[in-house]
Amino acid sequence: MTQLTHRPRRNRKTPTIREMVQENRISLTDLIFPLFLIEGNNKNSEVVSMPGIYRWSGDLLLKEIEACMNLGLTSFCLFPSISEHLKDKTAKESLNENGLYPATIREIKKQFPEAVIMTDVAMDPYSSDGHDGFVKDGKILNDETLQILAQMALVQAHAGADIIGPSDMMDGRVGVIRQTLDDNNFTEVSIMSYTAKYASAFYGPFRDALDSAPKFGDKKTYQMNPANSREAILEAELDMNEGADFLMVKPALSYLDVIKTLNDNFNLPIAAYNVSGEYAMVKAAAEKKWIDGDKVRDEILLSIKRAGASVILTYFAKEYAMSLKK
Ligand code: PBG
Instruction: For residue 181, give the CATH number of its domain.
Output: 3.20.20.70
Identity of the residue numbered 163: I
Give yes or no for residue 221 having a pLDDT over 80. Answer: yes
For residue 272, pLDDT beyond 80: yes
Residue 3 domain flag = no
Q: In angstroms, what is the span from residue 212 Cα to ligand 1's centroid?
A: 9
Is residue 278 included in any domain, yes or no?
Answer: yes
Residue whose CA is at the smallest distance from ligand 1 atom 2? 167
> Quick check: CB of 121 below 6 Å from ligand 1?
no
Average pLDDT over residues 55-62: 98
Distance 326 CA to ligand 1 centre (A): 32
Q: For residue 18, count other CB atoms closer than 10 A to its CB.
A: 11
The answer to whether the beta carbons of residues 288 and 318 sit under 8 Å apart is no
| Rounded-to-5 percentages of helix, strand, coil across the chain | 45, 20, 35
Pick the atom of ligand 1 nearest to 213's CA.
10
User: Inter-axis angle of helices 256-265 and 293-307, to 10 degrees?
Assistant: 30
Judge whether 265 lies within some domain: yes
Residues acting as catalytic residues: 197, 250
Q: Which atom of ligand 1 is closest in space to residue 168's alpha carbon?
A: 16
Taking phi first (over 0 means left), then psi (-120 to 50 degrees means alpha), and beta for anything else, what does residue 93 get?
A: alpha
Alpha carbon of 122 to ligand 1 centroid (Å): 9
Specify if 21 maps to a domain. Answer: no
pLDDT of residue 326: 82
Domain total for the chain?
1
262 vs 249: CA distance, rounded Å: 9
Find, among 237, 269, 272, 231, the residue nearest to 255 by Cα: 272
Residue 226 lies in a domain: yes
**Ligand 1 pocket: which of 33, 274, 275, 314 to mutate (most atoms within 8 A of CB):** 275
Q: For residue 189, tell me if it sits in a domain.
A: yes
Q: Which tens digits make up the pLDDT trace of 147-163?
A: 999 999 999 999 999 99
Instruction: Write out pLDDT tens, residues 34-51.
Output: 999 999 999 999 999 999
Whose alpha carbon is nearest atom 14 of ligand 1?
Answer: 203
Torsion sign over Cα 81, 86, 92, 96: negative
The amino acid present at 108, given as its one-letter code, is: I
6 lies in some domain = no
Please report the atom of ligand 1 found closest to the CA of residue 204: 14
| CA 18 to ligand 1 center in whole angstroms | 37
Confidence of residue 171 (pLDDT cuts 50, 70, 90): very high
- Please tell me if the CB atom of residue 207 comes closer than 6 angstroms to any atom of ligand 1: yes
CA–CA gap between residue 156 and residue 141 (Å, rounded): 23
pLDDT at residue 1 is higher than 90 = no
pLDDT value at residue 35:
98
- Supply the pLDDT for residue 69: 98
Where do the H-state alpha helices sit in 71-169?
100-111, 142-159
Q: What is the 3-state secondary structure (H, E, C) of 278-304?
A: HHHHHHHHHHCCCCCHHHHHHHHHHHH
Which residues form the domain of 201? 26-325
| Any atom of ligand 1 within 6 Å of the Cβ of 122 | yes
Measured in Å, residue 120 CA sits from the centre of ligand 1 at 9
Is the Cβ atom of 203 under 6 angstroms away from ligand 1?
yes
Reported as a single tens digit per residue, the pLDDT across 114-146 is: 999 999 999 999 999 999 999 999 999 999 999
* Domain contains 20: no
Q: What is the pLDDT of residue 212?
A: 86
